């Protein structure tokens, strides 16, 4: 009787794993952040439909609108951004440039909160974000799969160890 219960339990476990495995495989993946290089020259010489913090359109609200976050940022963490609209099947993204001195003073939760708040705003306009310093080091990202309902998003925070080498948390 004990062996029968063990065999039955093993069979049920195997069957349940086989049934749920295709569901896991079908779940939509969240894309990795763009691997395009940060183009700091666009801050002073934007081309085409690129939007930066220095561009103000008097006739309409620019999308994405990140000025509010910059203005309420008491610690002056958010310094500038470069917004790339959807183009050539590449998801729209915003490359955010932060003040490295202030970023380094934040703990993990404060960095997460900053990226999450900024990512929520960018997501509402259909943009993913990447966070950099002026040395072009990737500090964090907030990426979403905009093809799912509800949206699936992921935050990645890179930490800097004492040697300046980045690690992903």
What average pLDDT does the chain have?
A: 76
Provide the pLDDT for residue 132. Answer: 96
Which sequence spans correspond to the domains of the chain?
A: 30-168
Spatial CB neighbours of 142, under 8 Å, sequence gap ≥ 6: 115, 116, 118, 119, 122, 123, 128, 129, 153, 154, 155, 156
The pLDDT tens digits for 61-75 are 455 566 556 665 656
The pLDDT tens digits for 19-34 are 444 444 445 688 888 8
- Residues 88 and 114: their CA atoms lie apart, in Å, by 29
142 in Cβ contact with 153 (< 8 Å): yes
């Amino acid at each position: 009787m004990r062996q029968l219960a063990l065999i039955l339990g093993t069979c049920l476990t195997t069957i349940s794993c086989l049934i749920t495995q295709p569901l896991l495989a079908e779940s939509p993946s969240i894309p990795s952040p763009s691997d395009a290089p940060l183009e700091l020259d666009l801050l002073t010489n934007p081309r085409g439909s690129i939007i930066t913090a220095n561009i103000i359109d008097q006739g309409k609200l620019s999308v994405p609108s990140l000025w509010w976050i910059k203005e309420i940022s008491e610690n002056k963490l958010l310094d500038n951004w470069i917004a790339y609209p959807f183009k050539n099947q590449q998801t729209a993204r915003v490359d955010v440039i932060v003040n490295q001195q202030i970023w380094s003073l934040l703990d993990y939760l404060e960095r997460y909160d900053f990226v999450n708040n900024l990512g929520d705003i960018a997501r509402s306009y259909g943009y993913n974000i990447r966070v950099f310093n002026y040395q072009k080091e990737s500090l964090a990202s907030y990426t979403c799969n905009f093809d799912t309902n509800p949206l699936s998003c992921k935050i990645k925070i890179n930490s800097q160890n004492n040697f300046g080498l980045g690690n992903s948390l």
